[in-house]
């Protein structure tokens, strides 16, 4: 029995950690195309959602067919963990995607010109007030599972209305939420010298508004009258890394 478990563990490590020769995962935070980190950490309020998107690039000179494997490492409570790849979206119980084709030397951007078509779109909906969750997404060559690239996303859950803390940064929840014309957020970025901003994205992942944070500690008001009614996601970015991502509802 122990021998079988050891073999299974080796196979899992091989599957999840192999370096891809054909696939590259790109983080487009801040408008740049940078290689994605191996892991990300987000703070998510209860009854809120965290959505993060990646571009998926085919590094070869031939058409490439890929699939995505979702591996939930831990999940306290009944939090919903879902994802999309290409035009295919999957519910919380699905762990393996269907096949998606990427043309030679091309990529699927985080939001494709075709509506409803994504690169890798990950979403976490918090259903409990505290705890953690961790999920690994592996994008692999459908013809060679060892040709793969992985990203691990960690979620720290907080009760609604409680400040989120990331590497000693303080960021309050946006309020009011739902909102009509204006929202505000309190933040303390602890004397950071890195540029900081709040970016608001629609449900397709399109950046619709950017607000620069000119000082490291303040209360910032954001005019949202240009946004149509609907659900949005906002991220507080320090340097090129998001330190908080949550949902904003515009209702009139």
Query: Tell me: the pLDDT tens digits for 52-61?
Result: 888 899 999 9
pLDDT for position 148: 92
- Is the domain 164-250 a CATH 2.60.40.1930 member? yes
pLDDT per position as a tens digit, 55-88:
899 999 999 999 999 999 999 878 889 998 887 8
Q: For the residues 218-230, what does the mean pLDDT come to?
A: 90
- Put simply, whether the predicted model's pTM sits higher than 0.85 gets the answer no
Residue 164: count other Cβ atoms within 10 Å of its Cβ. 21
Q: Which is more confidently placed, 188 or 12?
A: 188
Q: What is the pLDDT of residues 175-191, one digit of tens each?
A: 888 899 999 988 888 76
List the domain boundaries for the chain: 22-158, 164-250
- Can you read off the two tokens belonging to residue 177? 């939420």
The answer to which of 29-43, 63-77, 186-200, 225-239 has the lowest mean pLDDT is 29-43
Residue 159, pLDDT > 60, answer: yes
| CATH architecture group of domain 22-158 | Sandwich (2.60)
Domains 22-158 and 164-250 share a fold: yes
**pLDDT single digits (tens) 124-136:** 888 876 888 999 9
Within 13 Å of residue 155, how many CA atoms lie on the same side as its CB? 35
154: left (phi over 0), alpha (psi -120 to 50) or beta: beta
- What integer pLDDT is reported at residue 18 of this predicted model? 43
């Amino acid at each position: 029995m122990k021998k079988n478990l050891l073999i299974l563990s080796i196979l899992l490590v091989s599957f999840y950690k192999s370096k891809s020769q054909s696939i590259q995962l790109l983080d487009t935070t801040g408008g740049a195309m940078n290689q994605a980190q191996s892991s990300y950490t987000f703070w998510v309020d209860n009854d809120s959602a965290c959505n993060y998107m990646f571009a998926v690039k085919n590094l070869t000179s031939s058409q490439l067919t890929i699939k995505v494997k979702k591996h939930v490492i831990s999940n306290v409570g009944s939090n919903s963990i879902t994802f999309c790849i290409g035009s295919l979206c999957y519910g919380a119980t699905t762990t393996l995607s269907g096949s998606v084709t990427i043309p030679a030397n091309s990529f699927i951007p985080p939001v494709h010109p075709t509506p409803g078509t994504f690169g890798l779109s990950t979403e976490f909906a918090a259903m409990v007030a505290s705890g953690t969750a961790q999920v690994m997404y592996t994008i692999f060559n459908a013809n060679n599972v060892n040709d793969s690239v992985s990203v691990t996303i960690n979620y720290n859950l907080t009760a609604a209305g409680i400040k989120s803390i990331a590497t000693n940064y303080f960021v309050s929840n946006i309020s009011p939420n739902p909102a009509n014309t204006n929202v505000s957020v309190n933040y303390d970025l602890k004397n950071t010298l890195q540029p900081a901003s709040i970016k608001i994205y629609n449900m397709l992942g399109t950046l619709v508004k950017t607000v620069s944070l000119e000082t490291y500690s303040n209360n910032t008001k954001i005019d949202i009258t240009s946004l149509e009614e609907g659900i949005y996601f906002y991220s507080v970015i320090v340097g090129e890394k998001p330190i908080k991502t949550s949902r904003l509802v515009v209702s009139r």
